[in-house]
A and B are shown apart, each in its own frame.
Chain A
């Protein structure tokens, strides 16, 4: 089982990112579940969502304590939340950032999802949409296939800019 925790702020689309990721994994022929942790969310407050991917049906509903991977859609949450908490030794970290961030004992990657979203003019209520471009980065990392990433985006959004943003993230991401 591969377990992913996504950190974002309320309103940034972390829940939708989890859903798109799970749907992509299902299109890849795997089993997947996506569950947001529901607390008293407010727009802008740090939130987490979870994705589990496995070759067999998933029976676990409790929260992920030791993820294999952490995705940080908004690097500013790192000032208030320990995003590495419980991350397995050697686990992957994907950060939305213009520059590299290193963490001892983990393998980290970065890509400027915000820049890509702004370039494609993917902006809602004044904020960049990060949940579709991040799929491109996850495909580059081999978590899901490119075809499934595009298919799941098209399943949920009719605007092709979302697919273009994911393609840009795939191209621009440095592993």
Chain B
């Protein structure tokens, strides 16, 4: 059905179709519209979820954990400081192998107080055991939220999934949205280790040095297995609904001499930069990373690589650039751009590519480079 929606509304639409048993959430700019819309769906009866309005994000994730461990499908949404406030509980959700789905509307971390797009919030959840995917359009936000439930709940995965969308740039833009009838695309949730409230049992007892590492390894084994599940889920989605996704979205990469790698909406803007450069005779390509955890094997061999990070790890570098350097065992041109909603146009991205200095780091808008 042809309609127009914001990124936030698209996420809420997907949640309505998936019908989680419990939604526990706390509003925060620029995510508020997601939980407002879900609350409205619950109040009109379109979504038959138990909606738990909590007093904080820490409680939101705690409530999701409590619901999920009984085998109930669970959703929440947050952003920025809200995500950081959840941090203790996000670790717990992954460790307890709970397939919670969360939309995170990427926003910078204060101070200075800033409500605009940046990926640093999600990057600080990088090592928790959550799967992370970054979307770039309203349609992709909707489609990926649907797929996230099936991937999280798959019994070879059983890990939480975070769907990331850029604050305001995507959360508040209005674009065409084609909603689908999901049919049996997402099977009923089955949690093998679910607690039966009628027959209470304890969880989270002391796990000694002779056992703990096994649980850690089990998370890693499942995240490795998730590669196959993500693949088959995206394939089935494409067969049913006609829209193809993947670990990366590659644009004009096949014969490219230089490839710009980025995540989120900048990855779409980068395609326009590639078109510009191709007209100038520069064989450029764009690779937009969708899945960040598990981190995919990137096909960048033989190409010069420019990486745009909308995040930073102080004292080390752009997280994406350093990850790609480590995986590819090669130097890249690392661009730090778009922090706190900094305006980055396709012309700027074309400039990054034209003036690349492999092996160096460049902070866009700062008059010197490392």
Contacts and interface: CB of A to CB of B under 8 A. Distances in A.
A36 B266 CA distance: 18
A155 B346 CA distance: 34
A58 to B, nearest CB: 8
Interface in A5-46: 18-19, 22-23, 26-27, 31-36, 38
Contacts of A36: 172
A59 B274 CA distance: 12
Interface in B82-120: 115-116
B174 A59 contact: no
A62 B173 contact: no
Contacts of A34: 4, 173-174
Nearest to B346: A60
A63 interface: yes
A61 interface: yes
14 contacts: A18-B174, A23-B3, A26-B4, A26-B176, A32-B4, A33-B175, A35-B169, A35-B174, A59-B268, A59-B269, A59-B272, A61-B169, A61-B269, A155-B3
Chain A interface residue bracket vs B: 20 to 34
B111 to A, nearest CB: 16
A59 to B, nearest CB: 4
Contacts of B169: 35, 61
Interface string A43-63: 000000000000000111111
A-B pairs with lowest CB-CB distance, top 7:
A62-B345, A34-B174, A59-B268, A35-B173, A61-B265, A23-B4, A38-B168
B344 interface: yes
A86 to B, nearest CB: 13
Contact of A22 (B30, B174, B272, B345): B174
B174 A62 contact: no
Nearest to A26: B176
A98 B116 CA distance: 38
A60 B265 CA distance: 8
Interface string B1-33: 011100000000000000000000000001000
A19 to B, nearest CB: 5
B2 A19 contact: no
A60 B269 contact: yes
B343 interface: yes
Given A59-B269, A59-B272, A65-B345, 13 more contacts: A22-B4, A23-B4, A23-B174, A32-B176, A34-B173, A35-B174, A38-B116, A38-B168, A60-B269, A60-B345, A61-B266, A62-B269, A155-B3
Given A33-B175, A35-B174, A38-B172, A62 B4 contact: no
A61 B173 contact: yes
Contacts of A31: 176
B272 A33 contact: no
Nearest to B345: A62
Interface in A129-152: none
Contacts of B116: 38
B57 interface: no
A34 B166 CA distance: 16
Interface in B133-191: 166, 168-170, 172-176
Contacts of B361: none
Contacts of B174: 18-19, 22-23, 33-35
Interface in B326-349: 343-346
B311 interface: no
A31 B172 CA distance: 17
A171 B296 CA distance: 58
B234 interface: no
Contacts of A33: 173-175
